[in-house]
């Protein structure tokens, strides 16, 4: 999209983990009018609030990051809420944006949209070859509907909607809440707290065999900026690092970075989630020149350092 930097841009979820990074990066890149919105600004589950947002701000570009999201436990506990709130936000934001004359809609989906047994590396063509992993299927399918809607709106109305599929994100500023966090922040917190308390064991869900791919949050922000500026196509695009790590190996790395010397107990009564996750990232590089730059070890170290500093600050340690 030519001239994107001069357009008024709204980033939903702009006060969240990825959103804060994206808004800051866009301002650094010379975007003159970019606004990051949080739920306190507009409750985008309510159609009247979506209409109020479009009427009061009148954006030309919308980057939709807002989501109700969490790890396996949160997905199992709230499948109905995760489906409804994510689906209604995507559907109504795109429809009301079309009616308001939005020039570009960047829909940020999720790797959870892929079928449970997708061959590795995940290629975008495999998106419709099966049902997602059960524990996060309602969330994944709700976000996947933005791809269907965007392609349908492009066909009928000429609406410029693109769809990005980011892999699991991590980094400083992540959600470390034990009830809703994803695997990396959850394990960092468990290991640090165990080290500080002198505990000799940390419990981990599953058996450690699944693999996951992780993308540093700043790299994800870079990918979204590049796609906003350079990509106007109908096809979905993976956003990732292009490599996988087994959860058992991830646990070992986090233990090293946090200094936890104890053992890990694998709770095999808990679900593993999807067996493997690793993306083919060639389309993003070919279409808009994105390639992740941050090594996993470096990014993990920064996440641990951020959490340690925050934990010390909140406990009053100087």
Tell me which residue of 309, 229, 220 sits closest to 19, measured CA to CA. Answer: 220
Q: Tokens representing 5?
A: 């930097």
Q: Alpha-carbon distance 311 to 305, whole Å?
A: 10
Give the other-Cβ count within 10 Å of 227's Cβ. 25
Give the other-Cβ count within 10 Å of 192's Cβ. 20
Tell me which residue of 217, 232, 224 sits closest to 293, measured CA to CA. Answer: 217
Residues involved in catalysis: 139
Residues 6 or more apart in contact with residue 197 via CB below 8 angstroms: none
Contact (CB, 8 A) for 13 and 67: yes
Secondary structure (3-state) at 175: coil
């Amino acid at each position: 999209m030519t001239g994107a930097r001069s357009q008024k841009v709204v980033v939903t979820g702009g006060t969240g983990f990825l959103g804060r990074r994206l808004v800051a990066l866009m301002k650094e890149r010379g975007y003159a009018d970019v606004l990051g919105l949080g739920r306190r600004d507009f409750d985008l589950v309510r159609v009247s609030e979506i209409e109020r947002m479009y009427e009061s701000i009148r954006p030309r570009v919308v980057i939709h990051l807002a989501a109700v999201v969490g790890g396996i436990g949160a997905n199992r506990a709230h499948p109905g809420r995760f489906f409804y709130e994510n689906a209604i936000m995507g559907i109504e934001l795109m429809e009301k944006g079309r009616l308001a004359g939005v020039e570009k809609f960047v829909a940020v989906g999720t790797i959870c949209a892929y079928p449970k047994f997708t061959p590795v590396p995940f290629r975008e063509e495999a998106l419709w070859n099966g049902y997602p992993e059960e524990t996060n299927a309602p969330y994944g399918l709700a976000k996947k509907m933005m791809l269907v809607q965007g392609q349908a709106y492009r066909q009928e109305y000429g609406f410029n909607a693109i769809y990005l599929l980011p892999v699991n994100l991590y980094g400083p500023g992540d959600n470390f809440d034990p009830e809703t966090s994803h695997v990396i922040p959850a394990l960092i917190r468990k290991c640090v707290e165990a080290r500080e308390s002198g505990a000799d064991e940390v419990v981990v869900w599953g058996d450690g065999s699944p693999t996951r791919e992780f993308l540093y949050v700043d790299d994800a922000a870079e990918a979204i900026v590049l796609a906003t500026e350079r990509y106007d196509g109908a096809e979905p695009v993976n956003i990732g690092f292009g490599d996988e790590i087994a959860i058992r190996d991830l646990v070992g790395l986090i233990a090293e970075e946090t200094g936890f010397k104890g053992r890990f107990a694998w709770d095999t009564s808990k679900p593993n989630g999807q067996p493997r996750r690793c993306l083919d990232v060639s389309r993003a590089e070919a279409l808009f020149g994105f390639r992740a730059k941050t090594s996993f070890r470096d990014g993990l170290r920064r996440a641990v350092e951020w959490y340690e500093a925050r934990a010390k600050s909140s406990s009053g340690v100087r």
